Chains A and B, each alone.
Chain A
């Protein structure tokens, strides 16, 4: 027994895990969707593991501060991070002197939320479809603006990809967050926006803005009658906003497996499922740590390329 414990110290430690409270770092300010889902997940995880799970906000540098903090924490399974598309796919290319490797410095445990973006236009824009929008943009060269929550956000990059694929010209107008961008979209000062589904939904349902397409390969259950961009002729257009739980790179396998299983169970449980759905999230297709790592790797490539081509940077 003793020999076994000496031979596999990681395993021996893992058997006792968790013996003290866990920290789940949300690399953004309180109240945002990443923070909210961390706070939703924490109680469920706490119940499953029998140890308190404390959500800790470490905002700064587009989420990089919090993610970097966890990348350099002890890999003992007690410090986790809600890593997101920004911290693990977009920022590594967006920021110069990036402090960590989003793939090699982490164990990717479980994808928790995947939210589509939706292409919404102001009601005064005459287009009723994506094709109509493209011809509207072509008829008004240099006059069309698209808003986004920030430079380098998924909304911005979706717009840049749209421009590339359709060979159209639009001007990007960045805001500080989705809310002020929505205000200018409602008022008609900007023409369109690739907004997060959850924040766009109320105004779509109230008829204040018009949804033309979603950015995912499959239609979303929330807007069943709205086509995908892929269906609308932009073949292969597939962007989602996502985030999930990750740990430092050398976290033992046993801990990763256990966490993955418990988080999977938690997000499948009807109560949490309902709450996450209310945020516009569908059940993620990525279900295992190995799939998640492959997913992060793929996303990192796609967005790295997009950021480079869009010329966006933060350095």
Chain B
């Protein structure tokens, strides 16, 4: 009954009109920056920080959290409509969401993304309310060897991400891994593949690569279709998902939520894996994996639920341990510290108003987002009927502004242009960008954790098989590899994935 009491405290705090207002401002701003490609929550929250100093800590945190999950909602909008992933979590949404939009089903895709996110947000909020402290302990059980094994498992599983040839998918993953190690080596501080360009010494930003490979490349590709490009988006059938759609997505939403909630609590890049993981899982268990990448609604519902669940549960390590899972969380910790509150194990007991107020406001914020986003779908879909010759220059400009704003450096815009051209070449060669992006995200994390695990174990490779969690992932990866390698199953896989009829 304590939990009900606590939630009651939370709702009393969150339901005051000021806090409702700040939650509303937050989600509106978040949706806006999510929709504008490249302008992410980090830059926005940084700019807004001075304003939050004059708010109460609860109001500040409620607003910043609203921006954060508002951006998750908004990010999927551009991913679906114009193939631009504004956030790392919406890369996977591009795969099927954009295809749906091309088939005139942008409305159902957006609606399913919003509803799936809302459901996931509600569940994740409940999880935080009920089990934050014990889950934080689980997060601490993940050390370098566990993270490494988890990522090995992720990479092995990711071979199903591609729907073209397996060889090409592996080549793209490896290329992604190589691109990911550009920059300063964490252990020795040595600069790798930087060619004496100081801008490369911190590596290439994920958003820059993703926007180039997906967004810019898509625009270049569309310029080819001289006649068709003006019309492919105008055959909008219906705005909201049909009964059949809803029947197909409830399973993926449930599984995505579960996977996202779990991975979100891992501070070392867990949330990043959530949407990739959910997509992979759906494709793996689908009776009809061939339709993934061609506008399968399950391929939108699962990753969108997973990333929103992960975004919410990633508050757990921050609120209970003071450990931020990502840059946005680090900013929120900064905002709280300036308010004189140090996030950590004591916040829950010393500031119950803050802790439970935030949790209650997350739920309210999610509700606001769904109410806000569903009516907007009609407007977004109309956007697609804007003639392409007007649409794409404006998208390009917004992308350039967004990328420039990441670190106020024009060099980043050039890098995006480079990856745009490269992405176009990949499209021509039928190499999928998604495995490259996954390798790019996982590569540096894997290397970092592998080498850290080696340092801590004094170079003993068996460390990955001695810890139960790590061993579990290793065994699972091995089983998966065998499944892929087994000739009989391999044949089945080929039927499903290779050179599908065009």
Residues of A near B456 (CB, < 8 A) are 145, 173, 189-190
A103 within 8 Å of B by Cβ?
no
Q: Is A117 an interface residue (CB 8 A)?
A: no
Which of A81-89, A174-182, A282-290 lines the interface with chain B?
A174-182
**B74 close to chain A: CB less than 8 A:** no
Q: Which residues of A sit under 8 angstroms from B268, Cβ to Cβ? A: 180, 183
In the assembled complex, the Cα of A31 lies from the Cα of B335 at a distance in Å of 8
Please judge, given known A-B contacts A65-B199, A180-B267, A202-B344, whether A59 and B407 are in contact too, CB under 8 Å.
Answer: yes
- Check A141 for interface membership: any CB of B closer than 8 A: no
A184 touches B143 (CB 8 A): yes
Of chain B, the residue at the smallest CB distance from A201 is B342
Stretch at the interface among B116-124, B190-198, B292-300: B190-198
B330: nearest residue on chain A (CB-CB)?
A31
Within residues 326 to 364 of chain B, which ones have a CB less than 8 A from any CB in chain A?
Answer: 327, 330-331, 334, 337-340, 342-346
- Whether A183 and B201, one on each chain, are in contact in the complex, defined by CB atoms closer than 8 angstroms, is no
State the CA gap A156–B455 with chains docked (Å). Answer: 15
**How many chain A residues touch B (Cβ–Cβ < 8 Å)?**
59
* Interchain CB contact (< 8 A) of A203 among B49, B199, B345: B345
Complex Cα spacing A175 to B451, Å: 11
- Closest A residue, CB atoms, query B449: A180
* B481 in contact (CB, < 8 A): no
A275 in the interface (beta carbon within 8 A): yes
Q: Are A29 and B407 interface neighbours, CB within 8 A?
A: yes
Contact of A57 with B by CB under 8 A: yes
As a 0/1 sequence over residues 191 to 208 of chain A, the CB contacts with chain B under 8 angstroms (1 = contact) are 000000011011101101
Chain A proximity mask over B214-227: 1 for CB below 8 Å, otherwise 0: 00000000000000
A33 to B46, CA, bound (A): 12
* Residue interface mask B185-216, A partner, CB < 8 A = 1: 01111110000101101100000000000000
Task: Decide if B50 touches A198 in the complex (CB within 8 Å).
Answer: no
Indicate whether A61 reaches chain B with its CB closer than 8 angstroms: yes
Q: Does A171 contact B (CB under 8 A)?
A: yes
Q: Is the CB of A65 within 8 A of B322?
A: no
A43 lies within 8 A of B202 (CB) = no
Complex-state Cα separation, A36 to B53, whole angstroms: 11
For residue B345, which residues in chain A have a CB less than 8 angstroms away from its CB?
Answer: 202-203, 206, 208
Partner of B346, one of A30, A62, A202: A202
**Among the listed A42, A152, A179, A189, which residue makes an inter-chain contact with B143, where contact means beta carbons less than 8 Å apart?**
A189
> Which A residue's beta carbon lies closest to that of B347?
A202
Q: Is A278 an interface residue (CB 8 A)?
A: yes
Check if A187 is an interface residue, CB within 8 A of chain B. Answer: yes
Q: Determine which of B141, B198, B338 lies in contact with A279 in the assembled complex, contact meaning CB atoms within 8 Å.
A: B338
Which residues in window 60-90 of A have CB below 8 A to B? 60-62, 64-65, 68
**Residue contact B331 to A30, C-beta cutoff 8 Å:** yes
A151 touches which of B144, B189, B199, B342 (Cβ 8 Å): B189
**Which of A4-12, A106-114, A160-168, A307-315 is found at the contact surface with chain B?**
A307-315
Q: What's the least CB distance linking A71 to chain B, in Å?
A: 13
B184 and A314 contacting across the interface, CB-CB below 8 Å: yes
Q: What 11 additional pairs, Cβ within 8 angstroms, besides A57-B407, A182-B321, A189-B144?
A: A30-B331, A36-B338, A61-B199, A61-B201, A145-B455, A150-B189, A152-B189, A180-B267, A183-B317, A184-B143, A314-B201
Can you list 6 A-B contacts with CB-CB less than 8 angstroms, sorted by A residue number?
A30-B331, A31-B327, A35-B334, A57-B408, A142-B458, A183-B140
B interface residues (Cβ-Cβ under 8 A, vs A): 42-43, 45-46, 49-50, 53, 139-141, 143-144, 184, 186-191, 196, 198-199, 201-202, 267-268, 317, 321-324, 327, 330-331, 334, 337-340, 342-346, 407-409, 448, 452, 455-456, 458
**Which 5 A-B residue pairings sit nearest by Cβ, starting from the closest?**
A202-B344, A30-B46, A31-B331, A314-B189, A206-B345
